Structure 1
Amino acid sequence: MDKNEDDARQRTIQKLRQGMVWYSHEELAQLVTTAGTHGTEVISHWLRERRIFCVPGQIVLYPQFQFDAKHLPHPIIKDVLACFTAKEAWAIAAWFFFPNGWIARVQEGAEVAVPPMQILDNTEELLNAARKERDGTHFA
């Protein structure tokens, strides 16, 4: 990776860190600990099953959008991650965060691209966009 590419990557990571809500590993572990299971075990299980993803750094971070109100993984995350087996974690986070031309909503009379993380309840539309990304189809 050349310097310009690395600089652009770092700017994108900074936008993601500032624009998304994150859990640290410790925070998430506390939220998912139950009477019988420590949260770290639960998180490890979810990661092995690719039900969630995390991004590396000085501390491991988990995007909050991938969890429901009870702090369980949204089922669609596993399906999307299955499409992105070759993508690195920051690229996956960016895919969910930035507006996607395959996912549009009408706002003030105009069709506007929206971020995938805003439509987790629309399974088919989200999976269609993930498949288009996986297949390298960039025309929306």
Structure 2
Amino acid sequence: MPPPKSKSSLASNPKLQPGRKTAVNPRQKFRLAPGFGMMDWVRLKQASSDLAHLKGSPQRASITLEEVARHCTLHDCWIVLRGAVYNIGPYLAYHPGGKDIIMKFKGRDCTKEFDKYHRWVNIEGLVGVLKVGYLAK
């Protein structure tokens, strides 16, 4: 087995730099701005009381896809994952794949696409604080 590459050789290899669309980087991770890493997201979740912008209202039991579609901006970006509706806007800057990939699915059910890449992710643990309610049946 060859010895591991030094950090300097990794940094000089464009195929290994974050955000590049290459076979080496198939998940297209991006370098996040300082202060927007996963631990920063965890701290924000713990420190904030209303990231979903419910303004004291309880989660809703029945939200239509039509209503979800009306919430499609950076700061008011609703998506459906496994039957639950989330205002994912506050998480966009923390997403390792960049905000643009999530914005492609704004205002709709993106369960199929999410499960293709993130089936193993605990949605409630990651963005449960952003839950607005549940999709109408």
Specify if TM > 0.5.
Answer: no
Higher relative contact order, chain-length normalized (CA < 8 Å, sep 6+): 2
Q: Which has the larger radius of gyration?
A: 2
TM-score by length of 1: 0.27
Q: Which has the higher helix share?
A: 1
